Structure 1
Amino acid sequence: MNGMQKVLVVDNGDRAPDCALSAELAGMGYASVTAPFEAADDVLALIPSPAAVVLQMPQHADWPERRRFLELATRLRKTLAKSHTPVIVTGGISGAVTMLQNELSTRAVAAADL
């Protein structure tokens, strides 16, 4: 697993098996590390350069919880701007996979052009 690029998935800690991105990410060739919202910064410090950060907001989140995720996304985008690490906010698994495929394939094409 150390040879695979890692994607950090941040959620609210309530994990249903049908909402797990790990299988989808593995199918794309990525290892995933899932962390609850409160541990996002600590886990990010342990992953030297993630391929992406996905903030998996609960689909039925109330406004205060949505605001927490959006504020974290804004802060992480500023922090990770130099490394061009995409920060993706999603409310479901299918949207996250599509956005990740688009974002990561765009990065792979850009890196090949360098």
Structure 2
Amino acid sequence: MNGLQKVLVVDNGEREPDSALSAELAEMGYASVTAPFEAADDVLAMMPSPAAVVLQMPRHANWSERRRFLELAHRLRSTLSPGGIPVLITGGVSGALTMLQNELGAQAVAGPDL
């Protein structure tokens, strides 16, 4: 997994199997690191240059939780976007995959062909 670019997925810590992005990211050639919202800054500090950061809001988040994710997105975009690292917000898997494919399409590293 060291040879794959990593995507940081930040969620609220309540992971549902049908909303996991890890399998889809692996198919795109990325390794995923999933962290709860509260640990996002610490995990990001240990991740050198992620390919992207995906903020995965719960589907049924209330306004307060949505606002927390939006504020984090704004802060991360101001620090990461100048370096070319996209910060995406999603509320579901299908939307996240489409956004990731659009943002990272040409950058995907699926590993060497054998």
TM-score (norm 1): 0.92
Distance in 1 between the 2:82 and 2:94 partners?
Answer: 28
Structure 1 runs of 4+ aligned residues shifted over 6 Å read: none
Distance in 1 between the 2:81 and 2:7 partners?
Answer: 16
Please say if 1:44 is aligned against 2:44: yes
Please list the CA deviations of residues 46-77 of structure 1 after superposition, one character each: whole Å capped at 9, or x if unmatched. Answer: 11000000000001000000000000000000
Partner of residue 17, structure 2: 17
What SS does the aligned partner of 2:82 have?
coil
Contact 2:24–2:97, Cα closer than 8 Å, also in 1: yes
Partner of residue 26, structure 2: 26
Letter in 2 for 1:4: L
TM-score (norm 2): 0.92
Partner of residue 3, structure 2: 3
Which range moves more in the overlay, 77-86 or 91-100? 77-86
Partner of residue 79, structure 2: 79
Give structure 2 stretches of 5+ with no counterpart.
Answer: 109-114
Give structure 1 stretches of 5+ with no counterpart.
Answer: 109-114
Contact 2:6–2:31, Cα closer than 8 Å, also in 1: yes
The CA deviation at 1:106 is 5.5
Aligned-residue identity in percent: 78
